[in-house]
Amino acid sequence: MPWNALAGSGWKSVNLRKIRQTLVLPGNPMDVYKALMTTQGHEGFTGARARISPRVGGSFMAWGGYIHGKNLRLVPGKTIVQSWIPSDESWPTGHLSKVRFDLARSPRGTRVRFTHSGVPAEHVGHLSSGWKKSYWIPLRKYLAG
């Protein structure tokens, strides 16, 4: 889906994509929710500075300021929807992507259905692998205790 973004001296068309990932993490859905949606939890599994508001409309910052956005929808233990913007020079100015975490109990812990929508095509590769390396692997270790 094309989107017009301000880049350099003018507007350009940006092709947008979705990243979809499904995984199972240890612990119950509320454990996963708290790890993602509390400053202490987020800093605990990433090892980086974070500031996470627990309220809809509240702001968040993660990875020492590299990522920021707002909470759009929060259902504790079930759903997290946030606007998401990296501090990356190649990210289109003013462009908000959206992340959604759907959490459900599974026999082995919590099933996470994750969608990152509105991702500029040139960022899909590194963000797709980045979610695995920077979120799912350390979050799995953190929750396993």
pLDDT number for residue 115: 98
pLDDT number for residue 34: 98
Average pLDDT per block of 10 residues along the chain, 145 residues long: 49 85 98 98 97 98 96 98 93 93 97 97 95 97 95
Every domain of the chain and the residues it spans? 16-144
Q: Domain 16-144 is classified in which CATH homologous superfamily?
A: START domain (3.30.530.20)
pLDDT number for residue 33: 98
End-to-end Cα separation, the chain, in angstroms: 41
pLDDT number for residue 11: 54
pTM of the prediction?
0.90
Long-range contacts of 121-125 (CB under 8 A, 24+ apart): 121/14, 121/15, 121/16, 121/17, 122/90, 123/88, 123/90, 123/91, 124/17, 124/19
pLDDT number for residue 93: 87
How many Å apart are CA 58 and CA 106, to the nearest integer?
A: 29
